[in-house]
Structure 1
Amino acid sequence: MSTTSTILVATTATGWTATAAIAVHLFKRVHLDALTGLGNRDALEIQARHASRTRRGGAVGVLLIDVDQFKAVNDTHGHAAGNHVLRTLASRLADARLPGELPIRLHGDEFALWLGRVPSGERGRHVAARRAHAIRAALAMPITVNGVRLSIAASVGAHTLPARGVSLSALLAGADAAMYAAKRGGRLTSLPTTGRLRDHDDRESA
């Protein structure tokens, strides 16, 4: 190979590497939460869109997770402490995920876990409820911030819907209703209803 050809190949390879690096950077910027490194709502919408196009049966599920009394953490210990709590919870959520699941930070102190495909009907709701119990337990360990041991708890709502044509907004609405029932009752729950959607926009994923 001539010197000119070698330089051309090296330049092309370098250009491809730079382009790939830019693409990765842009993907992270668009699809990852800057504070926690988890996926963001856009990443969740991608999962829902893929699921909605399936020709197979079955269902998909999602958990919605809200940190209890998080405002008190910020008000008492400051936003830096609050951010530390959020990053710690995000790490725990990522560690607790199973294959096919995707941990998400939606906004503020609200997280989600995309469960992916689950069985249809009652079996799927039981699977989602079991995952909700497991995730709540994984997040419940105390967190130490500046030498202060904080007791952290989260309310978790689970919801499932048929995969084909699924709407992310409907999934989150059902999980939202279940989560607030859990807050009121002090227990985890899974409700077969679309319920009320709080703090989410009305964009459809399909």
Structure 2
Amino acid sequence: MEREKFIPMEDGTLYSKRKGFTPLHVPPLKEYAKIVGEEPIKKLEDVSERLSGMKMLELSSTPLGGGVAEMLHSSVPFLNSIGIDDEWKVIKGSKEFFEVTKTMHHLLQGKKGKLTAEDEKIYFSAIKENVALDIIDYEPDVVFVHDPQPLALARELKRGDVRWIWRCHIDIDEVALRRNPRLWDFITYWAEAFDAAIFTAAYFVISQ
């Protein structure tokens, strides 16, 4: 499918075998052996066999543009091709919501400024909208939440034995975060609901 024609379903689904919507494709696993060799492929097959049938859900903010979307365009169909049931959905939000999360993104990377009470209000209003829309309409084993846009969903929707993991792809500036206590408290409050977090490098993991 051409990227410019990649349109999610009405409920935000971008990939789901369960719903019969699988517009993304990758080469067969054996094709990768030409690049990495047979041994890594064999190890991957062994791991995928142990994880076969696992249900995963990826939650992000956009179907196109940016590193997260580009990564998921390949990783989601790849995981499905090796027996892991990985779905992908995008959250809904107003123009104001995405302006707030863009500001949040810039602040985390070191841009000067402040997160305001009004920003928080706009953010949580969008989160409540997604909760009301039943953005998670089944019970996966693991939910991966990408970056700050859907961050608050874990605290709002975490139930039972489902594991929630936050994947922060942002290059966090520790000095900027510490000089902005409101942003620090905001991120910490929502992030604490997760079972684990994954950062792009150890340097971006900031202790309290």
Q: Which is helix-richer, 1 or 2?
A: 1
Q: RCO higher in 1 or 2 (8 Å CA, sep ≥ 6)?
A: 1
Q: Which is strand-richer, 1 or 2?
A: 1
**Alignment TM-score, normalising by the size of structure 2:** 0.29
